[in-house]
């Protein structure tokens, strides 16, 4: 169970669309809007978990046409986010928007977030620690995932809010934007490696 918890921690804390956009919403809109967005991500992530655990994701993704459309939507959205971040220039704005994405924006991101599927498929199909009671194991895994997921996303939200409060130089802001864009491109690269054939 400890190995599983460590895997959860390292798979979730690494930059991906969810945590990067959480920091971005915190930087752009503050804590209240950020908390609503994190709630949406939480609900969306648990919907992805249900889809993975019940096999619904596997059934849907078994059709190569649907898989290709979802893959295209994911990569396009991730490239869009990376471009918005990279071309924000000297303005620290992980995501430039006029209005906060809110709960609905958070829920909507997860079904097209390839990292959500990869992480949850890895966690829920591997790391068996109660093979004689798979139902209990899935429930315990769900509790552990959420117990680690929530504080990590709140930490990224706090990081975004903290960056908003800093009076950074233009060079520092540009460097942060470029680092975040490169992180997003790495996620796109990982998605491309696992592209449907």
Report the domain count for the chain. 1
Q: What is the DSSP code string of 52-79?
A: HHHTHHHHHHTSHHHHHHHHHHHHHHHH
pLDDT band, very low/low/confident/very high, at 88 (cuts 50, 70, 90): low
Q: How many CA atoms lie within 13 A of 53 on its CB side?
A: 16
What would the two tokens of residue 55 be? 């096999």
Q: 81 near 184, Cβ under 8 Å? A: yes
* pLDDT class of 197 with cuts at 50, 70, 90: very low
pLDDT band at residue 84 using 50, 70 and 90 as cut-offs: low
What pLDDT does 118 receive?
81
Interval 2-10 mean pLDDT: 88
Q: State the Cα–Cα distance between residues 161 and 14, nearest whole angstrom.
A: 19
Q: What is the pLDDT of residue 67?
A: 76
* Integer-rounded Cα radius of gyration of the chain: 17
For the chain, give the number of residues: 197
Query: What's the predicted TM-score (pTM) here?
Result: 0.77
Is the predicted pLDDT of residue 188 greater than 70, yes or no? Answer: no
User: By C-alpha distance, which of 65, 61, 42 is closest to 52?
Assistant: 61
Q: Give pLDDT, residue 90.
A: 47
Instruction: Please give the residue range of the domain that contains residue 160.
Output: 2-193
pLDDT at 161: 87
Average pLDDT of the residues in 146-154: 96
Question: How many angstroms separate the CA atoms of 48 and 139, rounded?
Answer: 15
Task: Return the pLDDT at 25.
Answer: 80
CB-based contacts of 89, cutoff 8 Å, min separation 6: 174, 177
Please say if the pLDDT value at position 148 is more than 80.
yes
The more confident residue out of 92 and 129 is: 129
């Amino acid at each position: 169970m400890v190995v599983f918890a460590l895997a959860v921690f390292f798979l979730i804390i690494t930059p991906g669309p969810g945590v990067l956009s959480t920091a971005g919403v915190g930087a752009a809109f503050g804590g209240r809007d950020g908390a609503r967005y994190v709630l949406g991500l939480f609900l969306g992530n648990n919907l992805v978990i249900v889809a993975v655990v019940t096999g619904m994701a596997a059934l849907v993704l078994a059709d190569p046409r649907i898989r290709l459309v979802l893959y295209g939507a994911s990569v396009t959205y991730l490239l869009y986010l990376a471009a918005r971040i990279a071309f924000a220039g000297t303005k620290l704005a992980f995501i430039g928007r006029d209005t906060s994405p809110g709960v609905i924006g958070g829920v909507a991101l997860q079904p097209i977030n390839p990292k959500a599927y990869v992480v949850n498929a890895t966690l829920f199909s591997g790391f068996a620690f109660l093979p004689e009671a798979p139902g209990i194991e899935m429930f315990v895994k769900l509790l552990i995932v959420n117990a680690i997921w929530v504080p990590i996303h709140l930490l990224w939200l706090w990081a975004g809010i903290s960056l908003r409060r800093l009076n950074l130089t233009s060079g520092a802001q540009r460097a942060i934007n470029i680092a975040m864009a490169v992180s997003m491109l790495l996620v796109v690269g990982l998605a491309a490696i696992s592209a449907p054939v």
